[in-house]
Amino acid sequence: MSSLEHKHSATIFLAGGAGIIAIGIILAYLIGMAVNARAEEQGYASPAGHSEFHQFYFGLYNSKKSVSCCHNQDCRPTQLRDNGDHMEVMLNGQWRGVKEDEIIPKTAPDWGAHVCAGDPTSADPLGRVYCVIVPPRS
């Protein structure tokens, strides 16, 4: 094999290896985006969901429960629905009734529903709810 043929083979090999790496990076990114979107849809804590509104969450305090809402990673945007005589919030993949003492009279910067809740435990299988921010009603 001549020197020129050897260099050409090495270039093709490197280009092919770089292509495979690029495809791997793109696939990992797309999978990560899909997993994060699904987690947010189900009401799971998401660093992206929390960090976007951290400044808003940081100052929230629930005076009815005497507890801070934000414990650094437990607040996030969520879904809220009316269910007859009460509201429900999506929390860790399940709908959970909202208690009056959990509602904070604030409006989120995005005018959406938000929940601040701890991790699931045996006492609170969906996580202890500190605060719920309800969107303004028209």
The pLDDT of residue 131 is above 90: yes
In-domain check, residue 18: no
Q: What pLDDT is recorded for position 5?
A: 53
Q: What average pLDDT does range 35-48 have in this prediction?
A: 44
Task: Give the structural domain span for 77.
Answer: 42-133
Q: Does the pLDDT at position 58 exceed 70?
A: yes
pLDDT in tens, 100-129: 999 999 999 999 999 998 877 777 777 789
Please answer whether residues 39 and 52 qualify as being in contact, where contact means their C-beta atoms are separated by less than 8 angstroms. no
Tally of domains in the chain: 1
Residues 102 and 65 sit within 8 Å (Cβ to Cβ): yes
Structural tokens at position 97 = 């009734």
pLDDT tops 70 at residue 74: yes
User: Is the residue at 3 inside a domain?
Assistant: no
In a domain, 22, yes or no: no
Which two structure tokens, joined as six digits, stand for 96?
A: 């959970």
Q: Is the pLDDT of residue 88 over 80?
A: yes
